[in-house]
Structure 1
Amino acid sequence: MNKKDIIIVGGGAAGFFAAINIAERNPNLKVAILERGKEGLQKVRISGGGRCNVTHAEFIPSELVLNYPRGEKELLGPFHQFMTGDTIKWFEKRGVELKIEDDGRMFPVSDSSKTIIDCFLNEAQKHKVEVLYNQVVTHLSPQAESNGFQITTKSDEFTCEKLVIATGSNPKIWKLLENLGHTISQPVPSLFTFDIKDERIKDIPGVVALNVEVRVLETNLWSEGPLLITHVGMSAPSILKLSAFGALELAKRDYKFEIEINFIKQSFEDCLEILKELKQELGKKTVYKSTQFELPKRLWHKLVLASDLDIEKRWADLNKQQLENLSSQLTQAVFKVDGKSAFKEEFVTAGGIDLKEINFKTFESKLHNNLYFAGEVINVDAVTGGFNFQNAWTGAYIVAKSISE
């Protein structure tokens, strides 16, 4: 029987962050990470296209929480304890400088996730954290006499005084926690792109409309931001935000629904007035060739053709119906979504331990003393941009602080 003071199950971002912070605060504790794979930190490795999107440059807790479809209310207090500025300082103190990109995402200056992984592995070694790989946990049981836990893996048995679960979205671990009485919110995918087959976006992958408004019809879901046309449909922040905030609703609809897109963020009526003015001003020019509203040229061409205008049609010759058709395509274009695709490797799942069963001052279980959680194992998830990692750092830091005190 391997006896440790603290065991962390899961060698990902939250697991390593918790272990390092615990060991640094309490050098006398025996701290071990049990990782099921042959190496850890896999999500860190692939995040942000291999650059590791460490956090997001949002420094006000009440603004930061708005990026969490699940966890918004619960994370407000924790973010007052540890958030973006603290993350930046933590890494800088260990020789890793971060930079802010135009969209607010933050990366190591090296543009390589290896920098973050090396930092964690070096810190773990420096503070004598034992990292044990190929440890697949099969059983967790509280020990009444010691108030600690026994952990069984496929190859070993461990006991510890305090147990931290940082396994991310792992159905097998959720099952073990259910056996301990915890409620699991059913997992559904949270960050995904929309599959759409439509003439208006056929053959123009890579086209970006910079600022659109997207609504899911028959719901109150909407978002705004850039929209990217892909080989299979649509992506980019406006779509990903909808996929995160609508994760449960869209799963219920089996990912078949309709969206309405306003490509120019103007009302139908205002757009119609502008088109009438253009009819006067640009009379002799063809509509097809005179792109308006700062839209990408290829997208404008598609929307003009979708308005039943031919390539030769001049502005002066547009009748009332044609003007209305064009205004409608620009401000109220309806598209049928028929399925979803994973967004890069940034797989995120909505679901996990019910938030009512966690004390967010300490991230300790309300059902079992000395059982703690950090990262995506709990029912918290975020939009893309470094927010899921920030949740991991915050939870892990508070776990470390609670355990150390």
Structure 2
Amino acid sequence: MFKPELLAPAGNLSKLKTAVDYGADAVYLGGSRLNLRAFSDNFTYEELEEGIRYAHDRGRKVYVTLNVFPHNSDMNGLEDYLRELHAANVDAAIVSDPGIIMTARQVVPELELHLSTQANNVNWRSAIFWHSMGIKRIVLARELSMKEIREIRDNIPETLDLEAFVHGSMCMAYSGRCLLSNYMTGRDANRGACAQPCRYKYHLVEETRPGEYMEIMEDDKGTYIMNSKDLCMIEHIPELMESGIMSFKIEGRMKSEFYVAAIVKAYREAIDSYVADPANYTYDPAWMEMLSMISHRQYYTGFYFGRGNSQVYESSSYVRDYDIVGVVAEDAKNGRYVIGQKNRVYPGDTVKVLRAKGPVIDTIIDNFEDEEGNMINVANKAAMVFSATSTSPLMYGDMLVLEKKD
């Protein structure tokens, strides 16, 4: 049985380790240059080397993004940067610009290249063209249906792999090629600095009636006419498995470790369940419960089954029903657990425990003490370390998640 790659975002070194620990087969990240997440932490060369060692020691892969649309000045030093990536043993570079592709083929011909979704590949002839240019994998445009993806797979060589997004934020522009941010704020989305103006609130103004703001929907707060829902394909693993996609990609290099852990865990369990017994595969609602815990917009299935209702008109805000309140920093000592605080939590709170393997469980944490052993009635200082008891056994690395109170 073919087993697809589960590819997770790694916005920094800690998120890379979380993705690997929770079951990702590969991670993608931004190095110091030429990637479309200018405001994520990104990786220094030393962090990149450490992350690659961490992944490779566990049999996982690391891909580095070079997917901007570069101007002349962006190309300065490109050759040296490519040599650095190759020397660090990255498994592939994700690229979109022909100039970067040409340079990579000349400077580091052994380096595997994946074509970014920014290149908007939506047909099999284009896929074959890019393959002839040295591309090993096509990251498909998000605007494709399941039927179109199967047609592409049926018409391309077996030596060319397909990758597609299965979860995460969607862009109202064609596979991310948006000019709104540059036009409105001077921040170029195609060079990694998007301000996300598609999430802003808008009113309609008729040109001969300046100052008269007309409602587009029946809401006096305006409308969010370009605010896309989030992609979620957790309920459609069998269709994805039969599509010819060999890498299931999760969006979200700017998201939290909690986001990475929950999504990787849910899709890991779903994929493994299908591969183990396709004939008797059953969707588990617990997977969607995990995905509902993280901060997200309303979910939908993107373009896979037809566009449908893809916009959220009422608000640009996220659904945030849970907060991560702590991470277990040490195994139990004398019945107590050392916890690194993430958000405010009180003694006696019932929290959910998210760990790499096993079901999500509930436990009550209580009897808080600070690092000096003094009893405290709340853990509310940023990044503080405290200890607590738990009604269920905890493990190093467990994430403690608290449902928000009304």
Fold match by TM threshold 0.5: no
Q: Using CA pairs under 8 Å that are at least 6 residues apart, name the structure with larger relative contact order, 1 or 2.
A: 1
Structure whose CA Rg is larger: 1
Higher strand share: 1
Higher helix share: 1
TM-score (norm 2): 0.26
TM-score (norm 1): 0.26
